[in-house]
Structure 1
Amino acid sequence: MIFPLVHDLAADGLPVAVTCRVLGVSRSGYYEWLERPASNRSRADAALTQTIVEVHASSRATYGAPRVHAELRLGLGIACGRKRIARLMKAAGLVGVCHRRKRSGTKPLPAPHEDLVRRRFTAEEPNRLWVSDITEHPTTEGKVYCAAVVDVFSRMVVGWSIADHIRSELVVDALEMACWRRRPQPGTIVHADRGSQYTSWIFGHRLRTAGLLGSMGRVASSVDNGLMESFWSTMQRELLDRRSWSTRAELGTAMFEWIEAFYNPRRRHSGIGYLKHFFGPVWYMAWLLLPIELISHFVRPFTLALRLKGNMAGDHTVLSVFTSMAPWIVPVPVYFLGLLVCFLQAFIFVMLTMVYISMAKDSDHH
């Protein structure tokens, strides 16, 4: 219909009579259209658009039409078509982030493990297949490197490590976190590329001691580790490439917050039907899930408080002992050590509190 165009031109200051004459429509028809009440469809679209704006904002302006549609359908129980969502998002000027940055790396060493995955990134249950890789991103101070381990079944980042170096310790630390978090059974496959960090002796030794099976794709084939490439692409477009970073600490904190406060607990994933992280049904343990969740939510504040109390009490005890031994000399460095401990504990307490609050705000668990 051409009347909305007449209305827009009139809002810009053009006379209605001139606009109608140029466009070949009658003024009476325009004024009749202007006074006509909005249709039920228009009102429904306006209400749905407002909800879409809220969902898009809660996704940190990263969701496109498919994930917004999934959030409306699965998270809010609103039945609507994906094409309608795309139309309303286009009208509202809302878009998801979709830029993918090309990455390059050094030529990897020969693989000590054969390819056990062969591009089949599926698993029947959690902790049967993990994939891992490293990414880097520049800051004003220099590059920041991040290694991650992703569980193929749930799409959860089960282990990660952030540092200012790209030595083998980076990937070993990420694997250590994954093993500590998930306690995998012997035989779990850890798939990676042929980077020197993953072909190193220390990484292979850690795999063997944990009873894990190494797996590596072909040389210079990103498709052989496609799931991790997809994860890094998501991080690049939803976090890293959206702004410039001044310091390594700033970028490292942002990576930590994005993984633990958004990607792991909240983000919807197309690979598992736009659900959030899915750990799979364990029917014989289902009756324990509710009390475990309730206990974990209530215990977290007490564990944080107990940790702070223990550190404070330990600091005072050490200070009292050294003061009794040498009242004027020894306590001086102990005072500075206690001050450092206070700062570190305050930082850890604030970071953990941020993560817990962010996870508690997300009431829709899958």
Structure 2
Amino acid sequence: MRKIPKQEFTAEFKEQAVRQLRAGKTTGELAAELGVSDQTLRNWRKAAEAGKLNGAGAKPVTAEQMELSRLRAENKRLAMELEIAKGSGVLREGPSVKYAWIEQERATYPLAILCGVLTVSVNGYRAWKRGGTLSRKRLTDTQMMTLIRAIHAQLKGAYGSPRMLREIRARGFPASKERVERLMRENGIRARHKRRWRATTNSRHSLPIAPNRLERNFSPAAPNQVWTADMTYIWTDEGWLYLAIVLDLFNREVVGWSIRPRMTADIVTDALAMAWFRRKPASGLIHHSDRGSQYASQAFQAKLADYGMVCSMSRKANCWDNAPSESFFNSLKNERVHGQRYATHEQAKDDLFDYIEIFYNRSRRHSTLGYVSPAQYLRDWEHPRGMAA
């Protein structure tokens, strides 16, 4: 069994996790989605309510605020039931289709509510998940389209036919490439259209530049050997937000991120700090980025030196030198941000956290990884088949 160091989490990560709980997610649901224990989430929430999650300067949560959070959660629960009943499209389908829809909707709704609204039992769902006979039933075209529409709506139009095919098979249904392509084409179901977007890099500076040590070798043999980093922007009604990420090239997981209203050096140092806390890599890791002033800054270079990392930078005006990070932002913008209107910074932060930590890292099928998620790819590497756990 191979191992990577036990993960730790920054205050920014914990804060966003607590916001998910206050928005109505249960501790059990969020713990499963983030790969942490129930008790860890309870500790984070307790620290937040005491004003200790982000240091001494944070304000404790008042009784009125806690009651408001409770009422919002209750209202959200009631709204869930109505939304599931109206929007699932599977109310009149058989148990097999309902169970398949429930499987992935568990990231959004509590299992008990899902089963109650769809009039199936929790035990029946669990038996289906263990591989019961229902999961092997071949669907009619009408049933298959119901399932495709449910997945398309659930994943906000993120999947085209290649990922859709694998998602259907993963839920226990036989399906062919030709059939899924035909049904999606005939019914106008397609992935969200791609858009071009501007780079945020400012490489017009006199700061020292590192050589390109990565040289487009995007396939390291193990985790924590090569990380790439980049930044992008997100518009909200309150103004711009900037997102900095750190990507482990081995399993394309976003191991560090930071969201700020200004594109200053602290955004990239905070993203790097989160990545280091989570992975604790050995000295010698290559950190690759573009030539932006934030990455060339003295503060960021000092942080790299503290962590024993080797700096690498893309060649001037060559986005292909950092293609994996560019690809992540392309997916983020097309699959989530485009078509959204964020009224506040906090709303955008919540949605970015949901995309990165719950969908992309732990659920999204990545073509480079053989259509498994980054988290699953890493688990398969840690526990290869044929070896004892």
Tell whether the structures are fold-level matches, with TM greater than 0.5.
Answer: yes
Question: Deviations along 1:232-262, whole A, 9 cap, x unmatched?
Answer: 0111111211222222121122111211121
The DSSP-based 3-state class of the residue aligned with 1:197 is helix
The DSSP-based 3-state class of the residue aligned with 1:67 is helix
The DSSP-based 3-state class of the residue aligned with 1:162 is strand
Partners of 2:267 and 2:181 lie apart in 1 by 41
Aligned length: 246
Partners of 2:240 and 2:336 lie apart in 1 by 15
Question: Deviations along 1:180-216, whole A, 9 cap, x unmatched?
Answer: 0011111111110000000111111111111111111
Partners of 1:261 and 1:284 lie apart in 2 by 24
Mapped pair 1:151 → 2:242? no
Q: TM-score, normalised by structure 1?
A: 0.63
Partners of 1:181 and 1:57 lie apart in 2 by 32
Partners of 1:124 and 1:210 lie apart in 2 by 21
Mapped pair 1:191 → 2:288? yes
Partners of 2:269 and 2:306 lie apart in 1 by 12
Mapped pair 1:55 → 2:151? yes
Structure 2 counterpart of 1:125: 222
The DSSP-based 3-state class of the residue aligned with 1:100 is coil
Partners of 1:80 and 1:43 lie apart in 2 by 9
Question: Percentage identity across aligned positions?
Answer: 35
Partners of 1:172 and 1:161 lie apart in 2 by 9
Higher normalized contact order (CA 8 Å, seq sep 6+, divided by chain length): 2
Q: Aligned-pair distance for 1:136?
A: 0.6
- Is the 1:193–1:216 Cα contact (8 Å) retained in structure 2? yes
CA distance 1:166–1:48, shift in 2 (3 Å): same
Partners of 1:281 and 1:123 lie apart in 2 by 13
Q: TM-score, normalised by structure 2?
A: 0.60
Q: Which amino acid aligns with 2:335?
A: E
Q: Which amino acid aligns with 1:139?
A: T
Structure 1 counterpart of 2:167: 71
Structure 2 counterpart of 1:263: 360
Mapped pair 1:227 → 2:345? no
Structure 1 counterpart of 2:209: 112
* Among candidates 80, 84, 88, match of residue 179 of structure 2: 84
Q: Which amino acid aligns with 1:255?
A: L
The DSSP-based 3-state class of the residue aligned with 1:160 is strand
> Is there any run of 5+ residues in structure 1 with no aligned partner, and where?
1-41, 289-366
Partners of 2:188 and 2:366 lie apart in 1 by 23
> Is there any run of 5+ residues in structure 2 with no aligned partner, and where?
1-137
Structure 2 counterpart of 1:175: 272
Structure 2 counterpart of 1:281: 381
- Is the 1:111–1:216 Cα contact (8 Å) retained in structure 2? no
Q: Which amino acid aligns with 1:44?
A: T
The DSSP-based 3-state class of the residue aligned with 1:72 is helix
**Greater helix proportion:** 1
Moved segments of 4+, more than 4 Å: 283-288
- Is the 1:140–1:245 Cα contact (8 Å) retained in structure 2? yes
The DSSP-based 3-state class of the residue aligned with 1:179 is helix
Mapped pair 1:166 → 2:255? no
Aligned-CA RMSD value: 2.1
CA distance 1:144–1:283, shift in 2 (3 Å): closer
The DSSP-based 3-state class of the residue aligned with 1:262 is helix
- Is the 1:107–1:220 Cα contact (8 Å) retained in structure 2? no
The DSSP-based 3-state class of the residue aligned with 1:242 is coil
- Is the 1:61–1:97 Cα contact (8 Å) retained in structure 2? yes
